[in-house]
Amino acid sequence: MTARIVHIAHNTFREAVRDRILYNLIAFALLLSGAAILVGQISIDIERLVVVNLGLTAVSLFGVVIAIFIGIGLVSKEIEKRTLYTVLSRPVRRWEFIVGKFFGLAGTLVVNTFFMAIGVFGALLYVAHRFSAPDAGILVALYFIILEFLIICALALLFSSFSSPLLSAVFAFSLFVIGSFADDLRGFAGMAHGFTRWIATGAAYLVPNFSALNVISAVAHQQALGGQLVLQNTLYALFYSAMALSGAVLIFERRNLK
Amino acid sequence: MAAIEILGLEKTYMVGFWRKRPKQALHPLHLSVEEGEIFGFLGPNGAGKTTTLKMLMGLVFPTAGTARILGREWTDPEVKAQIGFLPEQPYFYDYLTAHELLDYYGQLSGIPARDRRRRVEEMLVRVGLSDIKGLQLRKFSKGMLQRVGIAQAILHNPKLIFLDEPMSGLDPLGRREVRDLIEQLKQEGKTVFFSTHILSDAEALCDRVAIIHKGELRGVGAVEELTRNVQGKVEVVWQGTIVPASMKALGAECHVSGDTVRAVISEKQQDAAIDALRRDRIRLISITPLRTSLESYFVEKLQHSPTAAGSSAGVSA
Amino acid sequence: MRARRITLFFSASLVVSMVASILLLRNIDQIRPKASIEDVLYVDSPKLIQRTSLGFNGLMACIYWTRTVQYFGHRHYSREMSYNELAPLLEITTALDPHLLPAYQFGASFLAPPPPDGAGEPQRAIQLMEYGIQHNPDSWQLYYEFGFVYYTELHDYKKAAEVFARGADVPGAHPFLRIMAAQTAQHAGELETARMLWAATYQTSHETNIRQNALEHLRAIKVDEDVTRLEEDVTRFGKRTGRLPGNMAELVAAEHLPGLPVDPDGNPYQLDAQGRVLLEHPDDFPFVTRGLPPGYKPSGPLRFHSNS
């Protein structure tokens, strides 16, 4: 069972690599270098702040785009192209397929983030000329970004299991945007009355809370993050992803393949 | 033991804008296939052959009915280790090479790592693909893809192989190779279930066939029997251009071509014909029983509405 | 059946994960650094926010408006003594959408008053009003808010009257502005004028905090009036009898008052030994200036009342 999941994950990763998705790293590197050089010249005493903010935001955004871009096709493309037939005619369970795809996609993003992290630290070194202890916070921020990715991957997979790539992209992206404003959604819910309040509050809790996972500003200001926060956010990301994946499995198990 | 037992598998789709209209893709099907035989599943395009196969593979869920494959429930995932499947017009991960693809499938089928490489090589040779190392599947021709498809179907040495239109996309040489391969599989004791709309292939290969049309089973039987000399006619060929009067008296249809005459007479008149020719000292070249072709059986079955229970409106949509 | 087992497992997993996620989220909310608003305002330049809104200024304005109200509401409820982010939040909101009138009204009510009732920044309130009027010259309501700030917090009655008069000149202005201009000019500093202002605010606003604030002021005015009148009665009693009344009942009888005097909550006013009229529950009446025992300090959480 585990072996099959690993093989599917590995194949998914291989597909992403051969799809030249990792070329995005070049665009990222260019962006970051350009910004670093620009900021280094303007030198208004907040170079470090800008590089950290810009770098981490770029890692996050690039990653989300990739996650959605690849994720939406993970299932629907295989159904469309009928590459699934020869896979499912083997002793592979449908749920193993979904879980394997998830790990493959998540793995791709982790690798991608790893390379981007090198870029960020490189740019930081360039503008600040040395590292300081609080810079370790960047690693924590990157960890949180990876947690975000897990959720996005699971959601993209969920949508891919029942809807076309285009619609999946729309849904996934919308949820990302709404999730980033989850705190405000909670605020809106707090000000509403009656039935609307119930619905809004429910939505506010069910939407993936990316604002909780967004510690970029805190890290940029070199604020420390409590261990409890890290632990609970990790658990949240894991449970939320599990929820989305369970949904994907339940849908996919029932799907008649054309 | 029956290799395949289909017990009333049925599939109805809901079509129309509101998904309210039922369209029956497959009426309840009852069929069984014995171990070790080559079974042909025949029918025109859209008859329900692929639907049946997809249901057996677990790709589509039946509206009703069950099936047993190699003695187990068809939904049992362990069954899949013993079967191979070649879908119609297969499509594979085109960013992989054939070696990588087969290796991946081997992993999923549970072939241990040390055997895999060897098996993959063997299979590729067996299906006639060589010199393709490092070539991505997106560069393969249709015929090459078909061969890869067959390779992946038999890679893990399954006991039962399902082939959906195995000859499609192949040139005559390729078709001959596939035919030989299927024969070999039978020699190895495997069961082959293949669907096709090309009757000559079925006639040449199959032990038994089933004919399906518009989702209904129209006929099942051994090829031998179905093509037996039902009509009871015999073809007589003799040297020369003369038709003896006695032959004409038998009411034979005679046809002269070149320096031979060909006549069709009933089986019972066979002896009388031989005597007639000998009396006139005409040299007999051959006497051959005329066989009904599978084709005419096929066409006949297609035109008949089924008399069995079921909807009578089966013929017209 | 196998399929059923899988369905069961993953359905259970779905439900468990959902519940766990929600519970964790509630937990996380507790322990997240409350500095989230400061995060929000890391970029406290309205222009920059405008640019990064990618043209979705209106939506961002709504979001910032919500945050402003939440920010103030939370801090006000816990009687915080600083509202440093209130002015920037309002400035950002109005920079993103200069036509968001409720924001100006909010600023008028809560930027000027001193903590814990407001941010204590009347000058920024003035700036906000002027900005608003500049962008909404047809909006007579803004003149009202503007004058309101001058009157209630800056006590600059001359300026208040001027602004009301300007507002009254706006075509389509509510006649009330003309009345207020006159009232302010002639009866500045009187309780009746204040009552007119707060009543107007209470009636015209839909925002909970603003209405609540206005209501409390109106209650306070009533109490101030009552206490002033009662203390005049005490003085009269004292002049007549040469001593102080022993209790309220005596005063009522001697001065022929209509009945035992009660505050807006229905609690009777108290009379202390020094002849001062006191509220029974001073905590229920923020903004009150009379009727408080000496050395009184408000304590406990803010309580909200629903009628005057």
A70 located within any domain:
yes
pLDDT at residue C181, as a whole number: 84
Between CA B211 and CA B31 the distance in angstroms is 11
Residues B221 and B237 grouped into a single domain: no
Report how far apart the first and last C-alpha atoms of chain A are (Å, whole number): 26
Q: What stretches in chain B show pLDDT beneath 70?
A: 228-231, 292, 304-317
The parent domain of residue B123 ranges over 2-227+296-303
pLDDT at residue B104, as a whole number: 95
Residues B190 and B53 grouped into a single domain: yes
Q: Write out pLDDT tens, residues B251-265.
A: 777 888 778 888 888
Cα torsion angle, C165, C169, C174, C175, sign:
positive
Helix (H, G, I), strand (E, B) or coil at C159: helix
pLDDT band of A242, cuts 50, 70, 90:
very high
The parent domain of residue A244 ranges over 2-253
Task: Kindly provide the b/e burial profile for residues B174-195, where b requires at least 16 CB atoms within 10 angstroms of the residue's own CB.
Answer: bbebbbebbeebbeeebbbbbb
Tokens of B75: 């939904």
ipTM score for this prediction = 0.86
Q: Chains that contact B by 3+ CB pairs under 8 Å?
A: A, C
Q: A161: buried, middle or exposed (CB in 10 Å: 19+, 13-18, 0-12)?
A: buried
Rounded percentage of chain A residues whose pLDDT exceeds 90: 36
Residues B186 and B219 grouped into a single domain: yes
Chain C residues with CB-CB distance to B77 below 8 A: 2
Q: How many CB pairs (< 8 A) connect A and B? A: 76
Whether A98 has a pLDDT exceeding 90, the answer reads yes
Whether C42 has a pLDDT exceeding 60, the answer reads no
**What are phi and psi for residue B108, nearest 5 degrees?**
-65, -30
Rounded to the nearest angstrom, the minimum Cα separation between A113 and chain C is 24
Instruction: Give CATH superfamily name and number for C42-211.
Output: Tetratricopeptide repeat domain (1.25.40.10)
Between CA B112 and CA C23 the distance in angstroms is 44
pLDDT band of C102, cuts 50, 70, 90:
confident
CB A88 within 8 A of CB B53: no
pLDDT band of C198, cuts 50, 70, 90:
confident
Whether A52 has a pLDDT exceeding 90, the answer reads no
Who wins on pLDDT, C63 or A116?
A: A116
CATH of the domain at B265: 3.30.70
CB B207 within 8 A of CB B39: yes
What residue in B sits closest to C4 (Cα-Cα)?
B75
Residues 6+ apart with CB under 8 A from B212: B29, B41, B42, B43, B47, B48, B49, B52, B218
Residues B172 and B151 grouped into a single domain: yes
Whether C307 has a pLDDT exceeding 70, the answer reads no
Chain B residues with CB-CB distance to C2 below 8 A: 75-77
Whether C53 has a pLDDT exceeding 80, the answer reads no
pLDDT at residue A243, as a whole number: 96
Residues B215 and B198 grouped into a single domain: yes
Q: Write out pLDDT tens, residues A142-156.
A: 999 999 999 999 999
CB A120 within 8 A of CB B92: no
Whether C304 has a pLDDT exceeding 70, the answer reads no
Tokens of B254: 């005679």
pLDDT at residue C40, as a whole number: 54
pLDDT at residue B316, as a whole number: 34
Rounded percentage of chain A residues whose pLDDT exceeds 70: 97
**What are phi and psi for residue B114, nearest 5 degrees?**
-70, -25
Q: B31: buried, middle or exposed (CB in 10 Å: 19+, 13-18, 0-12)?
A: buried
CB A84 within 8 A of CB A258: no
- Number of Cβ within 10 Å of residue B246's Cβ equals 15
Residues B213 and B242 grouped into a single domain: no
Q: Write out pLDDT tens, residues C242-264.
A: 888 878 888 888 877 888 888 88
Nearest-5° Cα angle at C186, C180 to C188 = 75
Picking from B127-136, B158-167, C2-11, C75-84, which range would have the lowest pLDDT averaged per residue?
Answer: C75-84
pLDDT at residue C34, as a whole number: 56
Rounded to the nearest angstrom, the minimum Cα separation between A13 and chain B is 12
Helix (H, G, I), strand (E, B) or coil at C292: coil
Chain B residues with CB-CB distance to A84 below 8 A: 59
Rounded to the nearest angstrom, the minimum Cα separation between C68 and chain A is 10
Tokens of C294: 């000496």
| CB spacing of B54 vs A87 below 8 angstroms | no
B313 located within any domain:
no
Q: Which of A18, A70, A75 is nearest to B97 (CA)?
A: A18
B311 located within any domain:
no
Q: Give the distance, in angstroms, between the CA of residue C162 and the centroid of all CA atoms in the same chain.
A: 24
pLDDT at residue B107, as a whole number: 94
CATH of the domain at B40: 3.40.50.300
- Helices assigned H by DSSP within C78-174: 86-96, 101-110, 122-135, 140-149, 157-169
Question: What kind and span of H or E run contains A38?
Answer: helix A24-42
B129 located within any domain:
yes
Residue A14 at interface with chain B, using a CB cutoff of 8 Å: yes
| CB spacing of C11 vs A247 below 8 angstroms | no
Domains contained in chain B, number:
2
| CB spacing of C21 vs A240 below 8 angstroms | yes
Residue B54 at interface with chain A, using a CB cutoff of 8 Å: yes
pLDDT band of A106, cuts 50, 70, 90:
very high
Residues B275 and B216 grouped into a single domain: no
Domains in chain C: boundaries: 42-211, 212-284
Q: In the predicted model, what is the mean pLDDT of residues C180-204?
A: 83
Residues B124 and B252 grouped into a single domain: no
Strand-pair partners of B12: B24
Chain C residues with CB-CB distance to A190 below 8 A: 70
Tokens of B269: 């008149």
A258 located within any domain:
no
pLDDT band of A159, cuts 50, 70, 90:
very high
B308 located within any domain:
no
Residues B160 and B252 grouped into a single domain: no
A234 located within any domain:
yes
Domains contained in chain A, number:
1
Helix (H, G, I), strand (E, B) or coil at B235: strand
- Which residues 221-240 of A are in CB contact (within 8 Å) with B? none
Rounded to the nearest angstrom, the minimum Cα separation between C8 and chain B is 17
pLDDT at residue B308, as a whole number: 44
pLDDT at residue B174, as a whole number: 85
pLDDT at residue C308, as a whole number: 43
Q: In the predicted model, what is the mean pLDDT of residues C18-40?
A: 75
A31 located within any domain:
yes
User: How much is the CA Rg of chain C, to the nearest whole Å?
Assistant: 26
CA dihedral B165, B167, B169, B171 (to 10 degrees): -170
| CB spacing of B60 vs A257 below 8 angstroms | yes
B314 located within any domain:
no
Who wins on pLDDT, A239 or B175?
A: A239
Residues B162 and B284 grouped into a single domain: no
pLDDT at residue A42, as a whole number: 65
CB C229 within 8 A of CB C237: no
Tokens of A9: 């994950």
Q: Chains that contact A by 3+ CB pairs under 8 Å?
A: B, C
| CB spacing of A92 vs B77 below 8 angstroms | yes
A230 located within any domain:
yes
Residue C306 DSSP one-character state: S
Residues B254 and B215 grouped into a single domain: no
